[in-house]
Structure 1
Amino acid sequence: MARIQASDNIVPRHIFDTPVNSTADVTGNALHNHSTDSSSQGSGVKLKKQIGLLDGVAIIVGVIVGAGIFVSPKGVLIYSGSIGQSLIVWILCGALSMVGALCYAELGTMIPKSGGDYAYIGTAFGPLPAFLYLWVALLVLVPTGNAITALTFAQYLLQPFWQSCDAPVAAVQLLAAVMTCILTVINCYNVRWVTRVTDIFTGTKVFALLVIVAAGAWYLFAGHTEQWEEPMRGTYTKPGMIALAFYNGLFSYSGWNYLNFVTEELKDPYKNLPRAICISMPVVTLIYVVTNIAYFSVLSPEEMLSSDAVAVTFGDKMLGFMSWLMPFFVACSTFGSLNGAIFASSRLFFVGARNGHLPAAISLINVNCLTPVPSLIFLCAITLVLLFIRNVYSLINYVSYVEALFTLLSVSGLLWLRYKQPKTERPIRVNLVLPVLFLLTCLFLVISSVLESPVEVGIGTAIILSGIPIYYLTIHRPVKWLTNLSQAINLWCSKFFICMPNQEKFD
């Protein structure tokens, strides 16, 4: 198909290119034989299509519904100024995420390759912008997000044991590291195990939110309506404040594009990708809105703004001796969210290495489990390092606008490809109004963040630009000693992890 061939030609040869035969030679005949067996169902060693529609829905819901809705809905309230506007922001953030997800559904079915934004930006604009996205994701976005999720899990799981004070930092870091390693092992061993863990913990976190909604409804119907007498009192109307409120709301919705990272492992992606999006996004939006209604019914704005974990404060007020359930539910939520994030984001680096933008070793697939083991271990190692940086949370402030910037670039790519390749097959074609609306909204958020947080934007931009010299040293004009180092690492990983390069053929 022409659309795949066009995207395959975006990457030049460079230091990370390694011949397939060299890996086969160093791993021995057993690998060759296993490859032959595997090819009976395909064209060599490749990722298996094991993710069905319900698994796809669970991945989206599981990744999105993390710690955000339990811990920090106060961020929206801070910049909205009122209960009424907070709910409006939550609804609009859900609608905006749905529009973005539909745009990505068109991109994902037109370019049915794993990697999400990386694949789309590369197809539309070439290798350098794609590499810069990969660079930022590798350096900060993905491992930092995973580290924060792991630390949140550890903090809330340990909280009942240190009720009068914070848990020791070392204990939190150690538990977070153990949990990250356990989930990495599960992801390395079996994709089906990953989806089962995602399914179970998605159900757990939805149940937790239903408990909050039920308690809030009981409190509201008992006659406690004082919080709703003036819902718009104190509303902020400054564009910059509205933009920051949207940033906080969209942070809790982040992850709606993660299924696009694993398109190649999705059964019948042309049907199941858009279906999973259309099922999961309205469900998440409804859950978030009714959960916030429950929060606002029980807690005053002052109580919410003074709380570091709204769900825990809510549980202390409403659940009595069962209040320990809330920290447990937050821990379960973050556990499931991290599991889905590790699964999806490791595929981003796998695809980047397969295209030659990272060392070839990261694109290897274990011949027994058919999972990208080196990519998973590589991601785990970076996450473990970030767990022991005290100010890891501050990194999010520097790159919050970067995510919006690259999302803006991806959707711009959709419009550019419609102009550049009008005859390319598109199994899904969204109305032109949707990508234009999403584009304008992202542009507003990016410009507003520049005006409101120039220092953070400057640091985020510096992180992006730092990838340019890396690109020219390793890809455009490769340095010989780096070439030799990359090949040596690739051969060692092939032997140690019993891996081979991906051999799937794209027609």
Structure 2
Amino acid sequence: MTVIAEPKSGGLKREMGLMSAINVILSVMIGSGIFVSPTAALRYSGSVGFCLVVWTVCGIVSLLGALCFAELGTVVPRSGAEYAYLIEAFKKSHKFWGPLPSFICAWVYVMVLRPAEIAVIILTCAEYSILPFSQILGLKNLPEDDLHNLIKLIALLGLGIITYINLSSVKLYVTINNIFGFCKVFACLVVIFGGIYQLAIGNTENLSRGFEGSNFNPGHIALAFYNGLWAYDGWSSVTTITEEIKRPEVNIPRSIVIAVPIVTGLYVFMNMAYMTVLSPEEMMRSEAVGLDFGDRVLGSFSFLIPLGVALATFGCALSIQFGVTRLCYVASQEGQMLEPLSYIHVRRLTPAPAVAMQGILALMFILIGNIEMLIEMASFLIWFFYGAAVIALLTLRKTQPNVHRPYKVPLAVPIFILAMSIFLSIVPIITDPSPKYFFAVGFILSGVAVYTPFVYYNIRPKWMNHVTYLIQVLFEAVPTSEKSE
């Protein structure tokens, strides 16, 4: 029996147990969406009953996808999630084309998608963090441009805080993430129990409509599931940080089996609470469902909803940045990113250069503003890379059948998830054949243009030696791993 060796690293330490792993998944999966705009699934499903079915099935699909990643995380004990699995499965298949899928994955995630997501999420955090105080401080009377600048300034402060946390230590990240994870689950429970109270006093009119008005048009059903699954995204987040999980062969599958059903339960019951208080027509007209729910149910405690959104988005941005820096770390070890991104701080044992780079990229996106289209341009690729990871799983089963698999998902599950990933990669292009998808293809081609000289031919300008030295001195960072052959 052969076992894929652990990466040669004296740097990243296994400091995160089961509870921390669960909180990572909760932090990334629970963002602002469930509080602000859980309306698309209702709009396309057409009825209260069918919408709740969609949210439940989306949770089950997410769990099945996460179980595929659980197997991969135990077979390839490296951080980086999809990237690590693609490099392991295909690196040796062809000298040029083999490493290319993993590089494109890193190129999209590291350079655009994740830092742009962090920028949008932290801007949302800033916007909702001032809502409870807007009346006291008279912010509603501010000119729109001044309010926008204030939100951007608070977002920059929030970005600085999350970057500092991730630079400082893994233990600090774990502590803060655990606190914020508890707070955001509490905010979800406030909504759920508010809905239960409304049902208890006899407010059942909206839910009694059941499946009335259900829309079974295949196109609308596809869009309902697409939007529902987008809200559940983040179920693979724990596999991005595999090298820092204690006993990953045990704790990764366990954290997934615990966390994803928790989120599914929260999402289904939160939607039920919203539908108890707001009619379907009111929900579809609402710009922020959670705020409308809070105004109608919580009275003087309605500030808990914007506070919950602020906490959820801060924790989400913190964990996304934590995860993507580990992808930078692994890609650099493979020679597919700048070498200093695999260096770690000599005392704090964090990948300081990678964290700093992600902070700078997110800063740029915050300053640019209007980046929602950029995220839409690249986000359809997320399910494309999920599908690629499932292909890697099937490939590894064939090419390395004797590798020890502490957990093995039934074959029907990866085949189903692969079909879903193809479907969800194509749906947005068919329903909205916008030029932005050509820009996505253009960005991928730009990745090929970078890959060919700097990765495949390994061209390294001499001035990079000075950059590497400067980064080492500036961040007190040292190399800790040997590159893979």
Is 1:264 aligned to 2:243, yes or no? yes
CA contact (8 A) 1:68 1:251 kept: no
Helix, strand or coil for the counterpart of 1:388?
helix
CA contact (8 A) 1:360 1:486 kept: no
Any residues of structure 2 matched to 1:140-289 within 5 Å, and which? 140-162=112-134, 164=140, 168-289=147-268
Which residue of the partner structure matches residue 12 of structure 2? 47
Give the distance between the partners of 2:113 and 2:54, measured in 1 at CA.
24
Which residue of the partner structure matches residue 367 of structure 2? 388
Superposed CA deviations along residues 358-397 of structure 1, whole A, max 9, x for unmatched, are 1111111001001100000000000011012231112222
CA contact (8 A) 1:365 1:499 kept: yes
Q: List gaps (5 residues or longer) in structure 1.
A: 9-42
Structure 1 position 238, deviation (Å)? 2.8
Of 289, 293, 313 in structure 2, the residue corresponding to residue 334 of structure 1 is: 313
Structure 1 position 426, deviation (Å)? 1.5
Give the distance between the partners of 1:439 and 1:432, measured in 2 at CA.
11
Structure 1 position 80, deviation (Å)? 2.0
Which residue of the partner structure matches residue 501 of structure 1? 479
Is 1:4 aligned to 2:32, yes or no? no
Q: Runs (4+) of structure 1 moved beyond 6 Å?
A: 504-507
CA contact (8 A) 2:55 2:228 kept: yes
Of 452, 461, 480 in structure 2, the residue corresponding to residue 483 of structure 1 is: 461
* Cα distance, 1:168–1:155 mapped onto 2, change above 3 Å: same
Is 1:298 aligned to 2:277, yes or no? yes
Which residue of the partner structure matches residue 348 of structure 1? 327
Give the distance between the partners of 1:447 and 1:83, measured in 2 at CA.
27
Is 1:92 aligned to 2:71, yes or no? no
* Cα distance, 1:82–1:140 mapped onto 2, change above 3 Å: farther
Structure 1 position 504, deviation (Å)? 7.2
| Count of matched residue pairs | 470
Give the distance between the partners of 1:493 and 1:506, measured in 2 at CA.
22
Any residues of structure 2 matched to 1:366-385 within 5 Å, and which? 366-385=345-364
Structure 1 position 44, deviation (Å)? 6.8
CA contact (8 A) 1:45 1:370 kept: no
Structure 1 position 168, deviation (Å)? 1.1
CA contact (8 A) 1:405 1:446 kept: yes
Superposed CA deviations along residues 79-112 of structure 1, whole A, max 9, x for unmatched, are 2222222211111111111001110011010000
Give the distance between the partners of 1:44 and 1:128, measured in 2 at CA.
24
Give the distance between the partners of 1:489 and 1:330, measured in 2 at CA.
40
TM-score normalised over the length of structure 2? 0.92
Give, as a single letter, the amino acid of the residue that structure 2 aligns with 1:220. Answer: L
CA contact (8 A) 2:123 2:366 kept: yes
Superposed CA deviations along residues 213-249 of structure 1, whole A, max 9, x for unmatched, are 1111111121111112322233232333222222221
Structure 1 position 3, deviation (Å)? 5.3
* Greater Cα offset, 196-205 or 396-405: 396-405
Superposed CA deviations along residues 419-455 of structure 1, whole A, max 9, x for unmatched, are 2222222221111011111111112222323321222
Is 1:452 aligned to 2:431, yes or no? yes
* Cα distance, 1:48–1:204 mapped onto 2, change above 3 Å: same
Give, as a single letter, the amino acid of the residue that structure 2 aligns with 1:266. Answer: I
CA contact (8 A) 2:334 2:484 kept: no
Any residues of structure 2 matched to 1:81-160 within 5 Å, and which? 81-125=46-90, 126-160=98-132
CA contact (8 A) 1:4 1:506 kept: no
Of 471, 484, 490 in structure 1, the residue corresponding to residue 451 of structure 2 is: 471
Give the distance between the partners of 1:45 and 1:416, measured in 2 at CA.
30
Q: List gaps (5 residues or longer) in structure 2.
A: 91-97
Give the distance between the partners of 2:37 and 2:189, measured in 1 at CA.
18
Structure 1 position 114, deviation (Å)? 0.6
* Greater Cα offset, 71-80 or 313-322: 71-80
Helix, strand or coil for the counterpart of 1:63?
helix
Give the distance between the partners of 1:486 and 1:232, measured in 2 at CA.
62
CA contact (8 A) 1:311 1:326 kept: yes
Helix, strand or coil for the counterpart of 1:358?
coil
Give the distance between the partners of 2:482 and 2:407, measured in 1 at CA.
24
Give the distance between the partners of 1:139 and 1:428, measured in 2 at CA.
33
Give, as a single letter, the amino acid of the residue that structure 2 aligns with 1:108. Answer: G
Give the distance between the partners of 1:493 and 1:352, measured in 2 at CA.
18
* Cα distance, 1:285–1:324 mapped onto 2, change above 3 Å: same
Which residue of the partner structure matches residue 93 of structure 2? none
Helix, strand or coil for the counterpart of 2:395?
helix
Give the distance between the partners of 1:488 and 1:396, measured in 2 at CA.
34
Which residue of the partner structure matches residue 24 of structure 1? none
Give aligned-pair identity as a percent.
39
CA contact (8 A) 1:144 1:392 kept: yes
Give the distance between the partners of 1:416 and 1:241, measured in 2 at CA.
34
Helix, strand or coil for the counterpart of 1:226?
coil
CA contact (8 A) 2:333 2:482 kept: no
Structure 1 position 124, deviation (Å)? 1.6
Structure 1 position 464, deviation (Å)? 2.0
How much is the aligned-residue C-alpha RMSD, in angstroms? 2.0
